[in-house]
Amino acid sequence: MSSYYESQDLAKFGGIGEHAKKLADEFFRYYGEVTGTDGALTKREKALIALAVSHAQKCPYCIDAYTTQCLETGASPEQMMEAVHVAAAMQAGITLVHSVQMQNHLRKLVL
């Protein structure tokens, strides 16, 4: 039975160029420049950010890819887990900050 998110499909990422090669080429050049080089942020810092985003966006391909990338840039398991907690805390905060909207509306509705 086939299913979504087969781990071997990660290797097919380059195939997004089919039917839209120019756009894919431009995307991969940009992607490589942003994530694969040391800039104002180190490659390790970028990998940790990407790992956090992977969890927030719940992308299993990205979680596998950036767990490896974190290790290949020398990150420790503690740094990786803390990055995931940043994503989790942000998501909790984003949920809770919306309660301001709820309270605003509540005040409007209550006589």
Does 32 participate in binding other proteins (rule CB under 8 A)?
no
| Identified binder of other proteins from the candidate list 6, 29, 33, 42, rule CB under 8 A | 42
If the CB atoms of residues 39 and 74 are measured against other proteins, the closer one turns out to be 74
Per-residue tokens: 103? 């309270």
Per-position DSSP letters for the chain, written without gaps between them: ---S--GGGGGGGGGGGTT-HHHHHHHHHHHHHHHSS-SSS-HHHHHHHHHHHHHHTT-HHHHHHHHHHHHHTT--HHHHHHHHHHHHHHHHHHHHHTHHHHHHHHHHH--
Residue 71 Cβ, how far from other proteins at the closest point, in Å? 5
**Phi, psi for residue 12 in degrees, rounded to 5:** -90, 5
39 binds other proteins (CB under 8 A): no
Q: Which stretch, 48-56, 72-80, 82-90, 103-111, contacts other proteins (CB under 8 A)?
A: 72-80
Residues 8-27 that bind other proteins (CB under 8 A): 11
* Nearest to other proteins of 42, 104 (CB atom): 42
Least gap, CB of 11 to other proteins (angstroms)? 7
Per the listing, tokens 């086939």 go with: 2
Positions that interact with other proteins (CB under 8 A): 11, 42, 44, 68, 71-74, 76-77
